[in-house]
Amino acid sequence: MFIQFSILFLLFTTPFTSLIKAKQDNTNFVRSLDLKELNLENKQEKLSHLKFYWHDIVSGNNPSSIPIVPPPLKNSTTAFGLVNMIENPLTLGPQLSSKLVGKAQGFYASTSQSEVDLIMAMNFAIIEGKYNGSTITILGRNPVSDKVREMPIIGGSGLFRFARGYAQLRTHWFSSKTNDAIVEYNIYVLHY
Ligand SMILES: *[C@@H]1O[C@H](CO)[C@@H](O)[C@H](O)[C@H]1NC(C)=O
Ligand SMILES: *[C@@H]1O[C@H](CO)[C@@H](O)[C@H](O)[C@H]1NC(C)=O
């Protein structure tokens, strides 16, 4: 009786345990870990506010924003399909000559056929103060004629590891002659 039971037990449990084992083997590149292992056990997530001005310089001999894909439809009123690669200065004040605190590196593209909406993918590389060397990554929708636009902060590096939050944009100045723009950025970000 006992032997029969054991055989039955083995018969039923062996395939089951090997199934579990196979599952573990398939996922052994993932493990859970303790906050201690990243020295985060005593750290509180904190909220920071960053404010600076973003300069989109498309005119002149030294542009920071360069069209790399021209709008494919010549009659598009929204430049649908246009892609600009940027390394735009981030300054403390609205003047380009004010203190440079970082660079916005990335690209934006025109994604609407009915109004000027941009998709923006940017890394804000901070070069000043305590956050020098840390980055914040933004990916969002920018309907440029809205008074206030909001884009998600989707991550960060260095002191901005685990970053999440949002950026609010307000056009500070725009020249319809050159298409150069200065935009105020207020960033609200949770990080450790
Ligand atoms: C743009 O041009 C294309 C091809 O010539 C035409 O089919 C389309 O209706 C035009 N669009 C507008 C907004 O004029
Ligand atoms: C920022 O970090 C870089 C690289 O470590 C360094 O060369 C530079 O002097 C730093 N800038 C400031 C303002 O501390």
97 lines ligand 1 (CB under 6 A): no
- My answer on whether 25 and 90 are in the same domain is no
Name the domain count of the chain: 2
> Each residue of 86-138: pLDDT tens digit?
999 999 999 999 999 999 999 999 999 999 999 999 999 999 999 999 999 99
Which atom of ligand 2 sits closest to the CA of residue 133?
2
Q: Within a 10 A sphere around the Cβ of 38, how many other Cβ atoms?
A: 12
93 falls within a domain: yes
Closest-approaching ligand to the CA atom of 71? 1
Q: Within a 10 A sphere around the Cβ of 57, how many other Cβ atoms?
A: 20
Domain that residue 130 falls in: 43-191
Query: Taking residues 64-88, what's their average pLDDT?
Result: 97
Please state the pTM of the whole predicted model.
0.84
Which atom of ligand 1 sits closest to the CA of residue 75?
1
Q: Distance between CA 159 and CA 171 in Å, rounded?
A: 28
CATH of the domain at 158: 2.40.480.10
**The pLDDT value given to residue 27:** 72
Mutate to test the pocket of ligand 2, among 100, 101, 126, 127 (most ligand atoms within 8 A of CB): 127
Whole-number Å distance, alpha carbon 84 to ligand 2 midpoint, is 28
Which atom of ligand 1 sits closest to the CA of residue 77?
13
Q: Distance between CA 169 and CA 172 in Å, rounded?
A: 9
- My answer on whether 117 and 154 are in the same domain is yes
38 falls within a domain: no
- My answer on whether 77 and 22 are in the same domain is no
- My answer on whether 109 and 165 are in the same domain is yes
> Each residue of 24-52: pLDDT tens digit?
566 789 999 999 999 999 899 999 999 99
Query: Taking residues 60-79, what's their average pLDDT?
Result: 96
- My answer on whether 10 and 93 are in the same domain is no
**The pLDDT value given to residue 87:** 98
- My answer on whether 95 and 75 are in the same domain is yes
Q: Whose CA is nearest to atom 11 of ligand 1?
A: 75
Residue 188, judged by CB atoms within 10 A of its CB (0-12, 13-18, 19+), counts as middle
